[in-house]
Amino acid sequence: MKRFLPFLALILGLAYVGSTLIPARDKSEFDLRGFARLPVLVDGRIKPLDTIARNSLLVLQGRQRLVAPDGATLSSAEWLLDVLFNPGLADQYKDFRIDNADVLSLFNLSEEDTEIHYQSSAQRTMASLGLLPSRSYLFSFDQLRNGLSELERQMKLADPVEEAARSPFQREVAKLYQRVILYNRLKAAVNVEDSPDLLAEILRLKEMLPAFTTALRDKEAGRPYSEETYKMAAAFRDRFQFMREAGLLLLIPPAVENSAPNAWQNMGDALAGSFATGFVNPEAMAYAGLGHAWRLKQPQDFNEVVRLLTAQLARRFGPELQKCRAEAAFNHAQPFYTSMGLYMLVFLLAVGSWLKWPDTLQRSAFWLMALAFFAATIGIIVRMWLEARPPVTNLYSSALFVGWVAVALCLALEKIYRNSIGAAAGGMIGFCTLIIAHHLSLNGDTMEMMRAVLDSNFWLTTHVLTIVIGYGATFLAGFLAIIYIFRGVLTKSLTHETADALTRMVYGIVCFATLFSLVGTVLGGIWADQSWGRFWGWDPKENGALIIVLWNAIILHCRWGGLVRQRGLMMLAVFGNVVTSWSWFGVNMLGVGLHSYGFMQSAFYWLIAFVTSQLLIIGLAALPQEKWRSFRQAAHGPPDAATS
């Protein structure tokens, strides 16, 4: 039975991955999938409404689904439909996350308001044991409404303060203020908030438009005009003005395909433009019809409008619509979350193989790691196609690629050594880097527009990829060293054979990392010379890249010169994690230099925690050999032959 376990693990893994590719069926009669695929232009990129909905919910509350007041679970598309077309109902949804007690006090909310009151005694008991959440930090817009003026006042006080110097209260105020702005801009995108029925208003506008246009032209030309008609026309224009200024979504495409991105319009622009063109934009009427059908719960009308709107857009923007469909499918499949779960299983199988069934569990871990790597690879390729860019364009994609590189090297190590060490390292690094990517995705669209200085596919492919490969390899060397230290201190499994294999792995990976870090740094200097007119400027990011090269070179020279043996090599490799994490994230904390992409307080604390953990591991490795033996003896009895 044991020999079939790897095949069974692979089949179950394939079934799990395949289940994520099956399109979700709409639970309601409304064509939610069709609506979610409709293209819009936001932040310079055409994307489906599905992406808008998911990213907005991630920013507001940190997850992509929402629980309605009646307990029903809403999809991101249903939530967005209510925000756009039924804002009165959406204002009751608890979709604003607030963790800071001082910020809660701005809205006359206290810790008691966060308590979850369960109906059944069993649920209350489970909550008291920590098996169910006892508090919720999600609040509705209605709960925040009366305190918005105070929030705005506090934001004016925090605005002049640099982000790195703000207090925790000011940082939470700024976060919540940006979330409120995002929510209000979504509400203003397709509807006038006090309008009982925008479609009826647009039909009235269409009926009166010839008279309105005549009155406006006569007024401008100084000819006699109907003052009553002119006032009605001005009232219509005023109602659309807020939508023009605040609407986030550019829903209305230009009349001609391949037009410039700024040719897309929001609903306010399209409706206000009716007075100049003499007709109402058909796409604007279609979206108003969608809202009418959604509010009145008319699925047949809703689905027909979605079909007609999709067909109309397909005639002029076929490639863009195809990409939006692919992006919506990509959002549903979530290949990186799938890989994350598989990587954790790989790590557990690999560690388990050191205790029992080494060959069977090793092969199971290897095949599952290959499957997780394949899923992540497909995800990266799809992102490249959607962006028309190389795989690394921002911090989020760098986290994906660092993990991808490390796992690729681990697959090679596992194929060569077959000792589950590569699988354990690959599973842990793959999982950790995808966790980092998830938290980076909470800031909004991960396929954002490129900064002007980075807008070069050639240098993104050469310098950025090369330097990130160096990051991934250096981290892998450090994680292999951690495995050596933990197995040596806490277990009896670090035999001479295993220790020698780990030493060869770390040495080879450090050589690989040194080469790519050096070449990537030189290529970065060439790019800097082309962009800024100087090859080297001692910028923090440049210094960080140089330190990685120098540290890897120090490791190699210490090894070649006999200054360190196995444990010394491992300690140096672990400190490489500190050096690399500083170059990767640390320079962003400084807020200075040409490569600083923004201070992140939460990332700062996690970076300090990570550095501290690495220093503690180095200290553990520095303990005398007698201490290693005493640790093993206390845990497992008398030690066997282990390496020094």
- pLDDT score of 595: 58
**How confident is the model over 329-336, as a mean pLDDT?**
94
- pLDDT score of 191: 84
**In this predicted model, what pLDDT tens digit does every residue of 68-118 receive, in sequence order?**
888 788 999 999 999 999 998 999 999 999 988 889 989 988 777 777 777
- pLDDT score of 451: 60
Give me the percent of the chain exceeding a pLDDT of 70.
92
**pLDDT of 363 strictly over 80:** yes
Residue 642 in contact with residue 488, Cβ under 8 Å?
yes
- Of 120-134, 317-331, 371-385, 494-508, the poorest mean pLDDT is in 120-134
* Arithmetic mean of pLDDT over the chain: 86
- Quote the crossing angle between the two packed helices 282-295 and 76-85, to the nearest 10°: 110
**pLDDT of 281 strictly over 50:** yes
- pLDDT score of 594: 57
Residue with tokens 């400190």: 575
CA separation for the pair 459, 444 (Å, rounded): 25
Higher pLDDT, 191 or 616: 616
CA separation for the pair 437, 434 (Å, rounded): 5
CA separation for the pair 609, 489 (Å, rounded): 22
**How confident is the model over 449-466, as a mean pLDDT?**
73
Q: Enter the DSSP assignment of 164.
A: G
pLDDT level of residue 635 (50, 70, 90 thresholds): low
pLDDT level of residue 131 (50, 70, 90 thresholds): low
**pLDDT of 487 strictly over 70:** yes
- Of 277-291, 481-495, 550-564, 623-637, the poorest mean pLDDT is in 623-637
38-73 as b/e: b if 16+ CB within 10 A: bbbbbeeebbbbbbbbbbbbbbbbeebebebeeeee
Q: Are strands 45-48 and 39-42 parallel, antiparallel or unpaired?
A: antiparallel
**pLDDT of 404 strictly over 90:** yes
Residue with tokens 């994690």: 577
- pLDDT score of 642: 45
- H or E element at residue 362: helix 358-387
- pLDDT score of 590: 57
The one-letter amino acid at 587? V
Work out whether the CA dihedral 505, 511, 516, 521 comes out positive or negative: positive
**How confident is the model over 387-405, as a mean pLDDT?**
90
Token digits for 275? Answer: 């007075």
- pLDDT score of 643: 42
Nearest to 249 by CA among 271, 265, 273: 265
**How confident is the model over 511-517, as a mean pLDDT?**
95
CA separation for the pair 442, 63 (Å, rounded): 8
CA separation for the pair 599, 609 (Å, rounded): 17
- pLDDT score of 452: 52
**How confident is the model over 451-461, as a mean pLDDT?**
68
The one-letter amino acid at 413? L
pLDDT level of residue 416 (50, 70, 90 thresholds): very high
Residue 472 in contact with residue 431, Cβ under 8 Å?
no
**605 contact partners, CB below 8 Å, separation of at least 6:** none
**pLDDT of 390 strictly over 80:** yes
**pLDDT of 24 strictly over 80:** no
**pLDDT of 535 strictly over 80:** yes
- Of 28-42, 183-197, 494-508, 509-523, the poorest mean pLDDT is in 183-197
Token digits for 289? Answer: 């019809």
- pLDDT score of 538: 80
- pLDDT score of 629: 67
Put simply, whether the predicted model's pTM sits higher than 0.75 gets the answer yes
Q: What are phi and psi of 371, to 5 degrees?
A: -65, -45
Residue 291 in contact with residue 84, Cβ under 8 Å?
yes
Q: Enter the DSSP assignment of 161.
A: S
- Coil vs helix vs strand at 41: strand
- pLDDT score of 258: 58
- pLDDT score of 422: 94
The one-letter amino acid at 143? Q
532-566 as b/e: b if 16+ CB within 10 A: eeeeeeebbbbbbbbebbebbeebbeebeeeeeeb
Radius of gyration for the alpha carbons in the chain, expressed in angstroms and rounded: 29
- Coil vs helix vs strand at 137: coil
- H or E element at residue 61: helix 49-61
- Of 60-64, 265-269, 543-547, 586-590, the poorest mean pLDDT is in 586-590
- pLDDT score of 641: 45
In degrees, rounded to 5, the angle at the alpha carbon of residue 342 between the alpha carbons of residues 338 and 343 is 115
- Of 181-185, 274-278, 369-373, 636-640, the poorest mean pLDDT is in 636-640
**In this predicted model, what pLDDT tens digit does every residue of 171-211 receive, in sequence order?**
899 999 999 999 999 999 988 877 778 888 888 888 888 88
- pLDDT score of 644: 42
**How confident is the model over 229-250, as a mean pLDDT?**
84
**pLDDT of 375 strictly over 60:** yes
